[in-house]
Structure 1
Amino acid sequence: MQPLDSCCILRCMRHTDSIDNQSAHSPSPPVQFQMAGIFREPILFASLLGLASFAVSANALPSILTTAARDLNFPVTLLGTVVTAQFMAYAVFTLLGGWLVDRFRIPEMALVLVGLSLISLALFLVPRSGPIMTFYLWAAVLGGGGGLIESLSSVIISDFDTPGSSRLLNLSQFFYCLGAVLAPQIAAYVLRLGFTWYSAFSAFGISTAAIAACYACAWWMQSRRQRSCDVLPPQPPEREQKTFVFSRAQVTVIAMVMFLYVLAEGSMVTWTVALFEIERGLSASEAAQYLSLFWTGMLVTRASAAFLPLRLSYRTNIMSGFSLFLAGLVFLMISPNPLLAGVSVFLVGAGAGPVWATVVNMTRQSTHEARSVATIVAAGSLGVVVAPSLTGQLIEMWGFSAMLLFVCAVVTLALLTAAGVLSGTAAARNQPLLTEQEP
């Protein structure tokens, strides 16, 4: 077999419908080639690294919140509102980025590079003193850059994927999880070495600046190769060429599903350690292991969705994810045994794993609008904003059991809403509609 050049790789990635329908029991060489080929696409691989960089920035402040608050002489709860400001700006810039792409045809890659630059600048210029408003402005820059990166990188990655498949976007969320896991570890290591808390931000800033430089080089390489090979970049088809279309009303309902999903996920991420430390009497280090189990479960299902040749419909991925999420929560509530509780937390993370990427990819493939993807992603970010304070109030008034019951109710509502909006749509089953729906 003769080696394939990079131009052939780009063409081959457009024709993988038959690959995606291969049996899960006998992965074929084309599947392995497809997954290996993504690392030969400069802008695709750079987008994956960009998402990991965003994950580090999104989890940087929470990982050293207590230390920073003590050094700055701020109440922890007050400094915690900086995280809220960060994700409010994230939502605004997400919507702005989608609008700029659709309205003015600004390349997504240009705005992702702007986002990486903003994050790198913010991480280098973290305030070391001053009024709380200074930190709000700093967090707005950090969150705004993150909004541009995650939403538009998801658009870029989704356009490389086969219609009806969310493998690459699940792979991108695998990279996000890696960044989310690494951020607290790096911050803890920097603090153990005796450096100040803002030195950790400088370390994150250096890595983000390096990724931004790599991204700029990848964009240049991609453009040069496309010109030399006379190959167009992945582009969404025009409206009349679409195989299925979501109406505006459906996009709104799916945005609600995303909000509910992130509200539930954010609640678990925020309070899992406290649940096992305060409610179940474990040490801080032991309780932290349960949060690691949550992320491990998420990593497993996202990696499975990315690499296994079995192809599931959008609807199956979403419904099974919510069902597993709910089952894990129920087992957690009734499992006093630490081992069973750990399995329950793992199941919660595993259920949450494929939902975000599948919803975003389905929206992109069904609307081919950056602003629709931005709406979905922004709705999710509002869940991050609401989750800590809302569930914190529930814990303060009625305890952790009330919080878990609330999360169960949220996941159940998300499951029922998703079932309603997806049950009658061919898009959710990866099948073409006979006629398009009007927006």
Structure 2
Amino acid sequence: MPNLPTTLPDWLALLESRHAETHIDMGLDRVRAVKERLQLAFSCPVIMVAGTNGKGSTCAMLEAVLLQSGYRVGLYIKPHFLDFNERARINGEMASDAALVAAFGAVEAVRGEVSLTYFEFTTLAIMHLIAQAGVDVAILEVGLGGRLDAVNVVDADVAIVTSVDIDHTDYLGDTREKIGFEKAGIFRAGKTAICSDPVAPASLVKHADDVGADLWLIGRDFNYQGDQQQWSYGGRGQRRNSLAYPALRGANQLLNASAALAALEVLRMQLPCGAQEVRAGLAMVELPGRFQVLPGRPTQVLDVAHNPHASATLAQNLGNMGFHRFTYAVFGIMEDKDIEGVIAPMRELVDHWCVTPLPSPRSADTAQLAQKLEQLRPAGAKEGDFSVTAFASPADAYANAVSRAGENDRIVVFGSFYTVAGVMAARKSSLH
């Protein structure tokens, strides 16, 4: 193929420029056509994970336990924070530039006249890369919804829906029932479907029934119990006792861990995992930006919470951390989010807001954001106990919070992947 990029940055720039011209046509026919030309097929079990929140954590736990058990694991996870390569992992390592360039070339070679969005093109390329890598198991994270997501051109052996909440209403609908139906689109006839949302939407349950999937619901087909020290999982035919809490912190992580263990129970004949491997995997799992507490003082927490459900979980986790004199929030969010719903659970916890725009045309306006937050000023707050300040970038907002916070204070970075990525990039450059 003449004049194709030879480096990953050049490929990504090309796809970005094309993406501007490709309108989103919400069907999967184009992706399916290119998948067939690629002869993309997995010769191993495929676990697919959808959900409003908790997808990334569930994928990371599955990967960690399976790696501990000695399997070769392919993982597609998104979005990335610093390097595009984070989206494709083979055996726990990020894919190399060369492997990604080869995969992009393979898609381009068969694409022909079919136009693909940036997301569709990169999804096909990464799934092709994983399918070619000779893995024992593939874990694929759904981007948006499920039914119309590019990942859904693959048939999953086990399909997990973690949580169903209101987000991306332009695409998915404005009720849990509509969104539940979209997410249930990854279920397949005769295959296992798992839902770890404690209140599964009726639309999801009905769709599983309509397509003939074998639905496992938390509280009915699998569950967990825990005390201060350890927890246990119970499924349809397997119990796992005396488990260490997952290294990912937060109250909701046992729901995610239970979904991961339910999937492993379903696949226990193909991919047996011993008790010790499960414990070690959960104890060692890492996922940046999900209630990630950085070492040192003041306490710093990075969390990609960008919808009300995730923000409420973040607030609950912060509430469990013990006393901090002041809490500084580095906060940037997209204008199409439920901004008031994201702020509401955090308003009692944050004393000083450092607001920032995000590097996206969808970024919320900082002046309007600051105005909303000023209205939350507690009555009778003493001078210096509450502030709202706008900055030009996540890096600037973060630098200001660091300069003001004392060692008994706390800094929380949240509101978007872009907010957390901006702070991660600033921290990385300050270390070099």
TM-score where L is the length of structure 1:
0.28
Q: Which has the higher helix share?
A: 1
Q: Which has the higher strand share?
A: 2
**Relative contact order, CA 8 A, sep 6+: which one is greater?**
1
